[in-house]
């Protein structure tokens, strides 16, 4: 990919991320000023659980994707074929299903802060 395409995409992504950070920080400041520490505590706990779940989902999905690439390598497929794409799509799908199964099985215990 050429730099003249990559730089604007990276710039746009960075601007969007900074705006998200500013909005989150503003929300926390407003919650602190409101003087309800219980609401702030519950918000921070929910964010911590969300970050842990995002890490778990990314880890499982990327691991399954790596297994899909390994399977393609073992089969000796050197070209992009529908079979290779199907293996990768199945690996991502199985990773997401594995994440769902783990979080579903965990129930309320997975939302407890550690």
Rounded Cα distance, 47 and 28, in Å: 12
For position 89, what pLDDT does the model report?
A: 92
For position 109, what pLDDT does the model report?
A: 43
Residue 41 lies in a domain: no
Helix (H) or strand (E) holding 64: helix 37-75
Are 27 and 64 within one domain? no
- The number of distinct structural domains making up the chain is 2
Structure-token pair, residue 3: 């730099």
Are 101 and 59 within one domain? yes
Are 28 and 74 within one domain? no
Are 75 and 114 within one domain? yes
Are 30 and 75 within one domain? no
* Helix, strand and coil percent figures for the chain, each rounded to 5: 90, 0, 10
Print pLDDT tens along the chain (114 aa).
577 888 888 999 999 999 999 998 898 888 778 777 777 788 788 888 888 888 888 888 999 999 999 999 998 888 888 888 999 999 999 988 888 888 888 754 444 444
With 0.75 as the threshold, say if the pTM is over it: no
For position 5, what pLDDT does the model report?
A: 82
Q: Do residues 110 and 103 make contact, with C-beta atoms less than 8 angstroms apart?
A: yes
């Amino acid at each position: 990919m050429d730099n003249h395409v990559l730089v604007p995409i990276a710039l746009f992504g960075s601007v969007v991320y900074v705006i998200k950070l500013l909005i989150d920080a503003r929300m926390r400041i407003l919650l602190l000023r409101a003087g309800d520490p219980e609401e702030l505590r519950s918000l921070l706990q929910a964010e911590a659980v969300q970050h842990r779940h995002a890490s778990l989902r990314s880890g499982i999905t990327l691991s399954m994707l790596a297994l899909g690439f390994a399977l393609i390598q073992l089969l000796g497929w050197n070209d992009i074929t529908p079979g290779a794409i199907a293996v990768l799509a199945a690996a991502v799908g199985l990773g997401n299903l594995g994440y769902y199964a783990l979080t579903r099985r965990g129930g309320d215990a997975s939302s407890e802060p550690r």
